Homo-oligomer: A and B are copies of this chain.
């Protein structure tokens, strides 16, 4: 099973952007894992959520919903569901982003229109809508001095979130963020060199030498050696495959997420 121990991240190092100069919000993003208890003012929160709705979405159908949870008891239940990560307990606002065809279906049914969105394509379209809105919200939050952290545990615990938040048929949680004023100031996290991610014109296969070169900086990070010692593995890659994201866990959560998507009515091909 998935344990808290697997949720660690590679220690960060300073990264400079000599080429870009413009140090705007996008280039300054850090995930924040320690929060002050200061609440977020209602008008500021509303502005940030409005920024989410301006993102592109599928056919302007806006097939997503956002659950805004600030109640302490419900946030504690969400903390338990999200593998008891401290930041979930600390941050004053918890946002659960859902693929949501329920509202659109209900509108169609009230207009004598017969919706055909109970399939995987529309789960995926609705996921895209929810995810683009979430990223806009993160950026506008950071524009206003707030910190955020995505919770990848959302898909692992989708069934439990559905039960807690009373999500009806046609609604599946796809990601979550916690939101609040930062109580830490971490360095930027490392990234692979840009050429690792990009392919020009068409996909260019990686040679073994390419891979060695592209991962060399990550493998040489000061924190990597320590992590390998702590995890008792031979190298960094094995920390991912044997500790953080093991095959048995992946298969377990893969099956449960697919079952949840089906249970919520998105697999009626």
Chain A interface (Cβ < 8 Å from any Cβ of B): 9-10, 17, 19-20, 22, 24, 26-27, 29, 31, 43, 46-47, 49-56, 58-62, 64-71, 74, 102-104, 106-108, 110-117, 119-122, 124-125, 127-128, 131-132, 134-136, 138-140, 143, 149-150, 152, 155, 164-168, 171, 174-175, 188-192, 194, 196-203, 205-206, 208, 211-212, 214-215, 234-238, 240-242, 244-248, 250-251, 253-255, 257-258, 269
Contacts and interface: CB of A to CB of B under 8 A. Distances in A.
A121 B250 contact: yes
B241 A70 contact: no
Contacts of A234: 111-112
Contact of A121 (B31, B66, B71, B155): B155
Given A116-B245, A139-B139, A171-B203, 9 more contacts: A20-B47, A20-B50, A26-B136, A29-B55, A56-B149, A67-B198, A112-B237, A113-B240, A115-B240
Nearest to A138: B56
Contacts of A17: 50
Contact of A245 (B59, B74, B120, B257): B59
A197 B29 contact: no
A69 B62 CA distance: 29
A62 B135 contact: no
A64 B203 CA distance: 12
Nearest to A12: B60
Given A26-B136, A106-B206, A212-B110, A253 B54 contact: no
A211 B132 CA distance: 24
B269 A254 contact: yes
Nearest to A236: B111
Given A108-B240, A245-B59, A253-B121, A27 B54 contact: yes
Determine which residue in A53, A116, A247 has the highest number of CB atoms from chain B within 10 A of its CB, and name it. A116
Determine which residue in A125, A165, A201, A258 has the highest number of CB atoms from chain B within 10 A of its CB, and name it. A201
A65 B199 CA distance: 7
Nearest to A58: B152
A67 B26 contact: no
Contact of A241 (B113, B215, B241): B113
A115 B248 CA distance: 11
Nearest to A52: B197
7 contacts: A22-B47, A102-B206, A110-B212, A111-B234, A111-B237, A125-B152, A127-B127
B29 A59 contact: no
